């Protein structure tokens, strides 16, 4: 407690009612949450098992757990729940299976599973890809707003809304038949249970005696309701948030949830954390000046004791290639002068498409980099297909894998058939695969539908027998040949080039399996191979937490919560930041918050760039500097590039840095 400032200590000790901690960027909010958990256990006498802390990412939850463990020791923290919102929802559903109408082992559909199911359901309507995408977003929005299919149908005012509402109803029925939920259901279903069942609600309110919520400005309507229901009239709640860093409206976040707290909790106490421990004063002055242009429910102003720091530089470039070359040259120069590791540099941009010129420039200079936010290998459709087949061969009871592959390639097994199969399996308490072989299914399905299912089951059993004792790579190659998967890729891809690229990903998976098989220290059964590949998937997802010395390239959305000594905020132009769609929708406030997040990632130096021309859809178009640059304090900015000249000393220093980097590349 001694290392906390007065406001932080006040937030930790306050237990007289619900508390909102307005925590500015870099103000030590995680330290406050973890210290408060320790205070609740050690001083307030609340058992660890009755405390729940909720945040938005697994990484943040792991960091919080580690910090609490160091403060308290593992024994004192035993039973404490620190998780994401969705993990908390999942835990509630697992404990309340019967009330939720689910069976043990229910599947969780990811985005691609959802897309595939919606395509099947909408096939009769001949809906195009864009219409289905909009329908998926709308269904997600309805769930986040706690709107059920019946309500959606009742308020549908257009043909499009009626189609989306009808699809929503069919989609929910299919999920229930498949004993499955989607990501949004992990919040929606627990809210429904807590709202409709007083005994269940009281049970969970007694289980969670104190609730702490991080990043509260990112909560959507359903998450807000979940918090309210779990806390109840007791109001044993601390929420931490910052409305200036609310940048997820596009996925349902509502910064106004911070203001709603005052209405729902009249005894709400507010504490502001304004001391920043991350950035130099000029950086914070720029951030404060920018965000002051937004309307605020709660006013706050960041300040720091770290000194003024360097001027913020704005480099005007000719085009995106010149921009990339200038930024990479700056990194080389800065590293040469300061000896800073590559990992202290971050290049931040509005959209993933902006990364390509920077990747090229970094590769040219032989500088290692990490691209955050690209499509992970195991997230690619074709890799997920093949992995699902392997999972099903190793474990025929994997209903999720079964549903993914049953019509990939297409076997003319319709949604109606699968719904009846799932309903029958549910009544019999068995898996989908086992249900196919039962005589009772003959009364539920037509002879043709049953024949197709049993043909698939027979093939799977035959393939599983052949796989027993055979090298896993041989099994996989035979499987791909049996289902003619390469031909399926050719049929289902938009071009031959895309089909070829997807097949290359399949071959890469085969090569990985071969490497695993060649390692004599590994197990050699198919199940063991699948487990190893699954582990590789997990490790790939954790790659962003790697400590390798690499320059980081990431979007502004992805950078939230992170910090870097040296930040390059690139593409500061109208229609990029702020984005064109936000300008058209008159939603500049969120784009300004996004720029604010980018600026406050910087600890020591901040360089911003804008281009005079940029290629869009193959056309070279003129660009205007972002309005946000004009909103920054002019006295703290140093403009370069547009007629600005570099001193002889600066030119010489940069020349020496580039020469040193070239010599390093050549091994001299």
Active site residues: 29-30, 214-215, 245, 601
Q: Are strands 619-622 and 613-616 parallel, antiparallel or unpaired?
A: antiparallel
Asked if 163 and 130 touch (Cβ cutoff 8 Å), the reply is no
Neighbours of 22 (CB within 10 A): 26
DSSP run (H or E) holding 580: helix 580-584
Q: How far apart are CA 239 and CA 25, in angstroms?
A: 15
DSSP state of 424: H
Vertex 384, ends 383 and 388: CA angle to 5°?
A: 120
Neighbours of 83 (CB within 10 A): 18
Peptide bond into 200 cis (omega under 30): no
Q: Which residue has the tokens 């599947």?
A: 107
Q: How far apart are CA 1 and CA 23, in angstroms?
A: 18
DSSP run (H or E) holding 225: helix 221-231
Rg (CA), the chain: 28
DSSP state of 511: H
Q: How far apart are CA 84 and CA 96, in angstroms?
A: 18
Vertex 217, ends 215 and 222: CA angle to 5°?
A: 100
Strand partners, 182: 109
Residue 616, C-beta contacts closer than 8 angstroms, at least 6 positions apart: none
Q: How far apart are CA 114 and CA 389, in angstroms?
A: 18
Q: Write out the E strands in 34-73.
A: 51-55
> Within a 13 Å sphere around the CA of 569, how many CA atoms are in the beta-carbon half?
32
Residues in the chain: 668
Neighbours of 469 (CB within 10 A): 10
Residue 512, C-beta contacts closer than 8 angstroms, at least 6 positions apart: 533, 536
Q: From the centroid of its chain, how far is CA 181?
A: 18
Q: How far apart are CA 378 and CA 371, in angstroms?
A: 16
Burial zone of 425 (CB within 10 Å; 0-12 exposed, 13-18 middle, 19+ buried)? buried
Residue 167, C-beta contacts closer than 8 angstroms, at least 6 positions apart: 118, 121, 122, 125, 135, 139
Q: How far apart are CA 561 and CA 574, in angstroms?
A: 25
Peptide bond into 409 cis (omega under 30): yes
């Amino acid at each position: 407690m001694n290392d906390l400032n007065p406001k932080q200590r006040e937030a930790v000790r306050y237990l007289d009612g619900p508390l909102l901690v307005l925590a500015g960027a870099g103000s030590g909010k995680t330290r406050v949450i973890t210290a408060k958990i320790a205070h609740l256990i050690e001083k307030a006498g609340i058992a660890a098992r009755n405390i729940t802390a909720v945040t938005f990412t697994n990484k943040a939850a792991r960091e919080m757990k580690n910090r609490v463990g160091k403060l308290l020791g593992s024994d004192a923290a035993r039973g404490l729940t620190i998780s994401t919102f969705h993990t908390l929802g999942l835990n509630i559903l697992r404990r309340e299976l019967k009330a939720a109408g689910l069976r043990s082992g229910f599947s969780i559909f990811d985005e691609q599973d959802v897309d595939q199911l919606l395509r099947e359901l909408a096939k009769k309507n001949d809906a195009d890809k864009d219409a289905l995408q909009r329908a998926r977003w709308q269904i997600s929005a309805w769930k986040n707003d706690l709107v059920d299919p019946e309500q959606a149908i009742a308020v549908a005012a257009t043909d499009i809304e009626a189609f989306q509402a009808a699809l929503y109803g069919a989609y929910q029925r299919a999920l229930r038949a498949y004993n499955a939920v989607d990501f949004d259901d992990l919040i929606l279903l627990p809210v429904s249970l807590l709202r409709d069942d007083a005994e269940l609600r009281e049970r969970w309110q007694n289980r969670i005696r104190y609730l702490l919520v991080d990043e509260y400005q990112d909560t959507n309507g359903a998450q807000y309701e979940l918090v309210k229901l779990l806390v109840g009239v007791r109001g044993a709640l601390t929420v931490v948030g910052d409305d200036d860093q609310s940048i997820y409206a596009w996925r349902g976040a509502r910064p106004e949830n911070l203001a709603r707290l005052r209405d729902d909790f009249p005894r709400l106490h507010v504490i502001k954390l304004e001391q920043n421990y991350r950035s130099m004063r000029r950086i914070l002055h720029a951030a404060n000046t920018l965000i002051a242009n937004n309307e605020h429910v709660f006013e706050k102003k960041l300040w720091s004791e770290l000194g003024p720091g360097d001027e913020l530089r704005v480099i005007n470039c000719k085009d995106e290639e010149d921009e990339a070359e200038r930024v990479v040259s700056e990194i080389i120069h800065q590293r040469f002068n300061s000896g800073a590791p590559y990992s202290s540099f971050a290049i931040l941009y509005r959209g993933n498409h902006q990364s390509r010129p920077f990747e090229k420039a970094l590769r040219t200079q032989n500088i290692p980099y990490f691209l955050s936010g690209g499509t992970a290998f195991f997230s690619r459709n074709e890799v997920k297909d093949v992995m699902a087949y392997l999972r099903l061969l190793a474990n025929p009871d994997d209903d999720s894998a079964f549903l993914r592959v049953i019509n990939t390639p297409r076997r003319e097994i319709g949604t109606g058939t699968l719904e009846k199969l799932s309903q029958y399996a549910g009544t019999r308490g068995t898996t989908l695969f086992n249900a196919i072989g039962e005589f009772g299914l003959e009364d539920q399905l037509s002879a043709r539908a049953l024949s197709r299912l049993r043909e698939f089951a027979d093939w799977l059993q035959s393939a599983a027998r052949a796989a027993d004792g055979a090298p896993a790579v041989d099994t996989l190659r035979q499987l791909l040949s049996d289902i003619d998967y390469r031909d399926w890729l050719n049929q289902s891809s938009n071009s031959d080039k895309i089909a070829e690229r997807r097949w290359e990903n399949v071959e890469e998976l085969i090569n990985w399996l071969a490497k695993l098989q060649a390692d004599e220290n590994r197990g050699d059964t198919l199940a063991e191979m699948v487990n190893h590949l699954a582990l590789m998937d997990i490790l790939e997802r954790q790659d962003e937490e790697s400590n390798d010395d690499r320059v980081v390239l990431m979007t502004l959305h992805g950078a939230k919560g992170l910090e870097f000594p040296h930040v390059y905020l690139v593409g500061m132009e109208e229609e990029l930041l702020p984005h064109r769609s936000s300008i058209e929708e008159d939603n500049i406030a969120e784009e300004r918050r996004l720029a604010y997040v980018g600026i406050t990632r910087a600890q020591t130096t901040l360089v911003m760039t804008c281009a005079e021309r940029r290629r869009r859809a193959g056309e070279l178009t003129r660009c205007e500097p972002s309005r946000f640059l004009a909103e920054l304090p002019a006295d703290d900015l140093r403009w370069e590039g547009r007629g600005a000249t570099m001193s002889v000393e600066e030119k010489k220093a940069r020349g020496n840095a580039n020469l040193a980097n070239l010599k390093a590349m050549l091994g001299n």
